[in-house]
Amino acid sequence: MSDQQEFPDYDLNDYADPENAETPSTNTGLALPGQNLPDKVYIIPIHNRPFFPAQVLPVIVNEEPWAETLELVSKSEHHSLALFFMDTPPEDPRHFDTSSLPLYGTLVKVHHASRENGKLQFVAQGLTRVRIRTWLKHHRPPYLVEVEYPHQPSEPTDEVKAYGMALINAIKELLPLNPLYSEELKNYLNRFSPNDPSPLTDFAAALTSATGNELQEVLDCVPMLKRMEKVLPMLRKEVEVARLQKELSAEVNRKIGEHQREFFLKEQLKVIQQELGLTKDDRSADVEQFEQRLEGKVLPAQAKKRIDEELNKLSILETGSPEYAVTRNYLDWATSVPWGVYGKDKLDLKHARKVLDKHHAGLDDIKSRILEFLAVGAYKGEVAGSIVLLVGPPGVGKTSVGKSIAESLGRPFYRFSVGGMRDEAEIKGHRRTYIGALPGKLVQALKDVEVMNPVIMLDEIDKMGQSFQGDPASALLETLDPEQNVEFLDHYLDLRLDLSKVLFVCTANTLDSIPGPLLDRMEVIRLSGYITEEKVAIAKRHLWPKQLEKAGVAKNSLTISDGALRALIDGYAREAGVRQLEKQLGKLVRKAVVKLLDAPDTVIKIGNKDLESSLGMPVFRNEQVLSGTGVITGLAWTSMGGATLPIEATRIHTLNRGFKLTGQLGEVMKESAEIAYSYISSNLKSFGGDPKFFDEAFVHLHVPEGATPKDGPSAGVTMASALLSLARNQPPKKGVAMTGELTLTGHVLPIGGVREKVIAARRQKIHELILPEPNRGSFEELPEYLKEGMTVHFAKRFADVAKVLF
């Protein structure tokens, strides 16, 4: 097929041919009757863009199948052929749909045909528009057609002249923007008069970068005025694009020039300053910067010696060497540590109490523990480094208590989570021989806070991982132990740091996964769940205002009643913390905002009745306190807080002795059940039951909510009481809940989570409890509002339990 392309090695002026070209007398590119134009010509399709009568351009076509066509053209008298534009080349040029050719093509005179590398090249000189009248040969190349030439009146109208002037002006604007156009204009002026509208219009169209189909529309348009109307907007668009390109190029060149000038001036200035001794090179500047950083800091002798050695080394090394970069990074970190810089503590207990009360509702026992801790510091004159471990269920405010401690002391606070950390280098740093080595998180923390006595919080310390890269929990032993961290060694710095004045605050959900040696170094403060009263206060003081602010709602536009808050807490957010409560309050606010968008001036009040429509049915229903023979209410601790745990025992049949357990119980709980069964079986007579009851009874013990895994020894007395109630066939006293571990000899051992279990009992409106005697102290330590209205029996042996129940 063909490709149309310009070749710089032709002088196109050689092909100016006034005889055959459209001269001023022939007007508008249309042949007059007197002109010697052939009525039968061969055609070749082209695919790049249409060829215009005003053009002289080289054309390249494939030797196969157009060689024969060009030979026949060269033997003809007129040496002419017709070029027709085809938008998409056919798969086989020997067979194409003749109807796919456009209405008009261009008759061109062929000059200098040559052959090279399977291609034919010739210079085509555009003569006039041509239209196919009939196909004489169309089965395969060479294609021969009979043609006709369009005619048009020769006198141009005033409107045509006006358009001609507009085109000439646009071409004038285009010439300064792109020098390539001036060459084409010279070639055009050698062949045509600038006042001849037809070739002028075609020339203007050929200058544009319009698509092939748009240009073909111009070629198909014979009437002069219509054609000019099509071409003028195309040419104006070309002028705008060329102008924009020139502006962009000028802007880019200006910026590059500015940068180069700036670079040369800076380099010259640097050389002049060095010659005059006014400035130093990069290396001297680095050394000076590091020395300035150390001013006002008190370095230990070992650190001072090491840093001086590294500074001497830096001043010798070449700035381009890798060792220079390593040494510079090392000094950057070593001089950023706030050696000997300590912040002054605010040891004002009134201020501390105010801060704690402002940020936290409830938690009175925790606040008093923190104030005691601060009081010791105030008495001594400094809060020495120690480790506080805040343990409690999610959402009870462990992290925010840590922040409050820092705020009440007036110390900077730095928090990082160690949950999932598997690499001990995160704590102690990498050795600096490795690429990309960094100091540990503690050095990074000291650099950020700029004092040696901040409050550093290690969040989620119970969720640390282990891997082949080391055990970060063991790496924390040296970090946290006040006896050892006076000389904490970071692997990267390889210098001893004194962390003994740092106050470490750790948080955890449970203590089970914290290694014993690490736990031993910490002062444990337990944050239990909140009771409903505390949650209502937290919601009113903190959570509800926060959600309104988040949604941008005015306080007087949306309110919630205390009754609705209580119903929300009991029915939708009964967990120990307040995260779920915050989410549900956020949901209520979002639902209200939808209504406020429709009616902005309304005041929305959320009451009990509105909860179900906004939040759906309550997630939690009031746990039914089961009662009857063989049914006892126990108390359980979970990581989410406390819960009541009913236990049921029943006799299935009396055919043989047997004991069955259900309710997804863990190993320890199964053992507790076995102990309870053995103890009651062997001591039934002393508790007023039939000694032979278990000899011939098949007993089934079940702990409801069978889908929930349960474990732990604290249900021992509850299970024994259920079995005793069954054996005596006597229902226990109503409204009593209990907890405690039972031994085979009937001793009641202490349990954990007393506060959570008391909260769970209060929630279920149970006000009589049986607790192990060793837990008396834990109960006495509880806040008064939790103990108020509770009757508690402390049991040393199981007989004490039986007395209360029966």
For 244-287, the pLDDT digits (tens) are 988 898 899 888 888 898 888 888 887 887 777 665 666 777 78
Name the catalytic one among 528, 725, 757, 778. Answer: 757
- Which of 386, 714, 725, 778 is an active site residue? 714
Which residues partner with 507 through β-bridges?
390
Q: What is the rounded CA–CA span in Å between residue 678 and residue 689?
A: 15
Active site (annotated) includes residue 109:
no
Say whether pLDDT at 29 is over 50.
no
- According to DSSP, residue 624 is labeled P
Q: CA–CA separation, 766 vs 527, rounded Å?
A: 23
* pLDDT tens by residue, 739-760: 999 999 989 999 888 888 888 8
User: Distance between CA atoms of 417 and 415, rounded to whole angstroms?
Assistant: 7
Better pLDDT: 507 or 365: 507
pLDDT for 279 equals 59
Cross-strand pairs, 60: 3, 121
Ordered alpha helix ranges (H), 462-530: 472-480, 516-520
Mean pLDDT of 392-412: 84
pTM for this entry:
0.58
pLDDT, residue 109, reads: 93
Question: Which residue is listed with tokens 């939790």?
Answer: 786
Please say whether the beta carbons of 50 and 85 come within 8 A. Answer: yes
The upper half-sphere exposure of residue 71, i.e. CA atoms within 13 Å in the direction of its Cβ, equals: 9
The pair of three-digit structure tokens given for residue 697, joined into one six-digit string: 């009874």
Task: Please state, in angstroms and rounded to a whole number, the distance separating the CA atoms of residues 86 and 102.
Answer: 7
Smallest Cα–Cα separation from 570: which of 498, 621, 636?
621
State the chain's mean pLDDT as an integer.
83
Residue type, 726: L
Mean pLDDT of 527-556: 85
List the single range of 106-120, 164-178, 274-288, 678-692 with lowest mean pLDDT. 274-288
| Contacts of 433-440 spanning 24+ positions with Cβ under 8 A | 437/492, 438/492, 439/333, 439/490, 439/492, 439/493, 440/490, 440/491, 440/492
Joined tokens for residue 744: 């085979």
The answer to whether the CB of 44 falls within 8 A of the CB of 69 is yes
User: Is 380 among the catalytic positions?
Assistant: no
Q: Following DSSP, what letter does each residue of 729-796 receive, concatenated?
A: T-PPPTTEEE--EE-TT-BEEP-S-HHHHHHHHHHTT--EEEEEGGGHHHHHTS-HHHHTT-EEEEES
Check residue 152 and give its pLDDT: 67
Q: What is the pLDDT of residues 113-149, one digit of tens each?
A: 888 888 999 999 999 999 999 988 877 888 899 999 9
β 631-638/604-606 pair status: unpaired
Q: What is the pLDDT averaged over residues 695-713? A: 82
Longest dimension (CA), the chain: 142
What pLDDT is attached to residue 153?
60
- Report helix angle 322-336 to 301-316, nearest 10: 150
CA distance 413 to 409: 10
Is there a contact between 339 and 298 (Cβ–Cβ < 8 Å)?
Answer: yes
Give the integer Cα–Cα distance in Å for 406 and 375: 15
Q: How many residues does the structure list for the chain? A: 806
Binding residues for ATP, as ranges, are 392-399
In a 13 Å sphere around the CA of 598, the CA atoms on its Cβ side amount to 5
Residues contacting 718, CB < 8 A, separation 6+:
632, 633, 634, 645, 647, 738, 739, 740
Mean pLDDT of 609-629: 77
Do the beta carbons of residue 503 and residue 407 sit within 8 Å?
Answer: no
* 805 closest CA partner among 748, 738, 727: 738
Other beta carbons within 10 Å of 310: 17
According to DSSP, residue 78 is labeled S
Contact 779, 787 (CB under 8 A): yes
- Alpha-helix runs per DSSP H in 277-387: 282-293, 301-316, 322-336, 349-359, 364-380
Rounded to whole angstroms, the Cα distance separating 214 from 49 reads: 9
Collapsing DSSP to helix, strand or coil, 606 comes out as strand
Asked if 146 and 136 touch (Cβ cutoff 8 Å), the reply is: yes
Provide φ and ψ at 28, rounded to 5°. 45, 20
CA contacts within 13 A on the Cβ side of 400: 17
Is the confidence at residue 415, as pLDDT, over 60?
yes
Tokens 């510091």 -> residue: 377
Could you tell me what percent of the chain has a pLDDT over 70?
A: 92
pLDDT at position 111 is 92
Q: How far apart are CA 736 and CA 721, in angstroms?
A: 12
Task: Return the pLDDT at 622.
Answer: 66
Binding residues: 392-399
**Average of per-residue pLDDT across 323-340:** 87
Residue type, 504: F
Q: How far apart are CA 87 and CA 523, in angstroms?
A: 84
Q: How far lies 314's CA from each of 310, 490, 494, 500, 630, in Å?
A: 6, 22, 18, 32, 82
Q: Distance between CA atoms of 138 and 95, rounded to whole angstroms?
A: 8
